[in-house]
Structure 1
Amino acid sequence: MNRIVAGDVDLAFRWWKRPTVKTGGRLRTAVGELSIVDISVVRFESLTENDAKRAGYQSLEGLKKDLARQSDRTFYRITLQFSGADSRIALRDDVDLSAEQCLALIHRLDHIDKGIGVSGLSMKALELIERYPERRAQELADELGLAKEPFKTHVRKLKERGLTESLSVGYRLSPRGRYVLQHARKTDAG
């Protein structure tokens, strides 16, 4: 993975029915965020030893073995560039929010909740995660009367705003998540 950060690995190849990334987009990975510099259709037969090295393989043979031909799909070459650390990590620790900024974030969460038709879901999810860190997603979803996948999708939206952290099992609130939840409780009480 550090070869991506160093810039030694800057290509990826995929067989897709349609691309799952686009030029100018960003991709989050274990090493941080990657920029999608370019995506193009290429012929599988045109791969070179240099392509294999730039994709992190020891040899062209290894690359071709991993990417066996799939006749119902198109072969894509993706040019990548390391962009930096996952921006959500810094956001998780950012509790330097004014009351107005915190309220705006809470209103944004309310808007998301209304969009999926479950009023107060974000705050309920934050409260459950606070109460039961490291609890399995299915158990938390059951507490809210939701299916697991919609619950996980919603928690990803909370994570995007720096409010939660994913663990090997379950989640926990970030410092920002605790701060926003405390602010919401004070607003409700006052």
Structure 2
Amino acid sequence: MLLKADLLARIKAGEVDTVFRRWKRSTVKAGGTLMTSAGLLAIDSIEPITLADVTLPDVKRAGFASLDEFHRWLDTMKDGDLCIIRLHYAGEDPRIALRNQRDLSPAELAQANAALDKLDGKSPWTRQALRLIATHPGRLAEDLAGEMAMEKAPFKSKVTKLKELGLTESLEVGYRLSPRGETVLAAK
């Protein structure tokens, strides 16, 4: 579920606790979480709702000033079942603390390397990607993918897995190694 930066800021500030979506298939689950650029969101509930059942208090909780404004926004959405999602800000991105760890114990280094080995499977790619990102911080993902003879989308998906381990950070354009990533790469 993609949320715009201004909406994320309002959710983080506690001004908005509701979003609406039209879905053919939900991308989040009640009781789950959603990692965003503003931090972690907790998904409290997801309920199908008919347009006739949407109330002014509902749309105000979603940050709309009026039902008319909500309807104009809804007209821009794709077809699908209308859902009302209740959520709240659950805290900072836990990967931030992880990626800022520079001093790793031998056990933490071994754990990070085991995780990389597991990601590699039968086709090693993790260390090559880390070296490329270290050598070319801020370089376009498409360019880095080309260096690894990959398409952009699969490459970005792989880098997301490195990010989950706290080894990379996304930039406005491209990526860079985190302090943790620098330590793990230097120790190999």
Q: Give me the TM-score of the superposition, normalised by structure 1.
A: 0.90
- Residue 69 of structure 1, CA deviation: 8.5
1 CA distance for matches of 2:163 and 2:76? 36
Cα deviation digits, residues 138-186 of structure 1 (max 9, x gap): 11111111111111100000011111111111111110100111111xx
Q: Find the residue that maps to 1:135 and give its secondary structure.
A: coil
Match status 1:118 vs 2:118: no
Match status 1:95 vs 2:102: yes
Q: Larger Rg: 1 or 2?
A: 1
1:56 aligned residue: 63
Q: Is the 8 A contact 2:17 2:86 kept in 1?
A: yes
Match status 1:140 vs 2:155: no
Unaligned runs of 5+ in 1: 185-190
The one-letter code sitting in structure 2 at the alignment partner of 1:167 is L
2 CA distance for matches of 1:112 and 1:163? 13
Unaligned runs of 5+ in 2: 1-7
1:157 aligned residue: 161
2 CA distance for matches of 1:161 and 1:175? 12
Q: Is the 8 A contact 2:30 2:46 kept in 1?
A: yes
The one-letter code sitting in structure 2 at the alignment partner of 1:135 is R
Cα deviation digits, residues 33-57 of structure 1 (max 9, x gap): 1000000111111111111110011
1:168 aligned residue: 172
Match status 1:83 vs 2:99: no
List aligned pairs for 1:33-52, cutoff 5 A: 33-52=40-59
- Cα-Cα RMSD: 1.6
2 CA distance for matches of 1:28 and 1:76? 20
1:188 aligned residue: none
The one-letter code sitting in structure 2 at the alignment partner of 1:92 is R
Mean alpha-carbon deviation: is it higher for 124-133 or for 86-95?
86-95
2:24 aligned residue: 17
Match status 1:127 vs 2:107: no
Aligned length: 181
1 CA distance for matches of 2:112 and 2:30? 30
Q: Find the residue that maps to 2:166 and give its secondary structure.
A: coil
The one-letter code sitting in structure 2 at the alignment partner of 1:81 is H
Q: Find the residue that maps to 2:186 and give its secondary structure.
A: helix
Q: Percent identity, please.
A: 46
- Residue 25 of structure 1, CA deviation: 1.1
- Residue 71 of structure 1, CA deviation: 8.8
